[in-house]
Amino acid sequence: MGRSIKANQAYSLRGEQHAQGMLDHLNSNLSNKGIHVKRVIITNVILAPDVAQSMQERTIYQFKNTLERKQFAYNQRIKNDNEEEIREKQIKEEQRKDVEETAKLEQMQKSLEIEKIKAETDKIK
């Protein structure tokens, strides 16, 4: 009996007065069978087809909208990560070139020092 209440009837049963009214109604109908109802929880509501369709369409729209926003955010993260990776690679490449250039300069200076020492030793001989 309680499980076959239609949506518009369930809406009219909202609120504390209506909940008490529903309890009174159930107790009056079931008291002759020795059943006393202390509280009621509505577990299933049968909606009119047009209301159910409208709610389902709204839910689907909200789901699709949320999915699109999350996909966009994910794609942006991927794009940002790729750009950051490219930027890091460029920075590392520049640092490597700087180290190579510094090493070449130091090598040239050492070579010049060696040449000077050789020239001085040749003068001494």
What is residue 10's predicted lDDT score, i.e. its pLDDT? 57
Close Cβ partners of 23 (under 8 Å, ≥ 6 residues apart): 37, 38, 39, 40
Is residue 5 over pLDDT 80?
no
Q: What is the mean pLDDT of the chain?
A: 86
| 40-93 residue pLDDT tens | 776 777 788 888 888 899 899 999 999 999 999 999 999 999 999 999 999 999
Rounded mean pLDDT, 20-34? 86
Residue 46 β-bridge partners: 6
Is residue 21 over pLDDT 90?
no
Give the Cα separation of 21 and 35 in Å (integer).
17
Q: How confident is the model at residue 16 (pLDDT cuts 50, 70, 90)?
A: low
Q: What is the pTM of this model?
A: 0.45
Give the Cα separation of 15 and 10 in Å (integer).
10
Rounded mean pLDDT, 112-125? 88
CB-CB contact of 94 with 88 (8 Å): no
What is residue 1's predicted lDDT score, i.e. its pLDDT? 45
CB-CB contact of 39 with 23 (8 Å): yes
Q: Which of 44, 52, 36, 49 is nearest to 3 (CA)?
A: 44
CB-CB contact of 40 with 26 (8 Å): yes
CB-CB contact of 24 with 36 (8 Å): no
Is residue 2 over pLDDT 60?
no
Give the Cα separation of 81 and 76 in Å (integer).
8
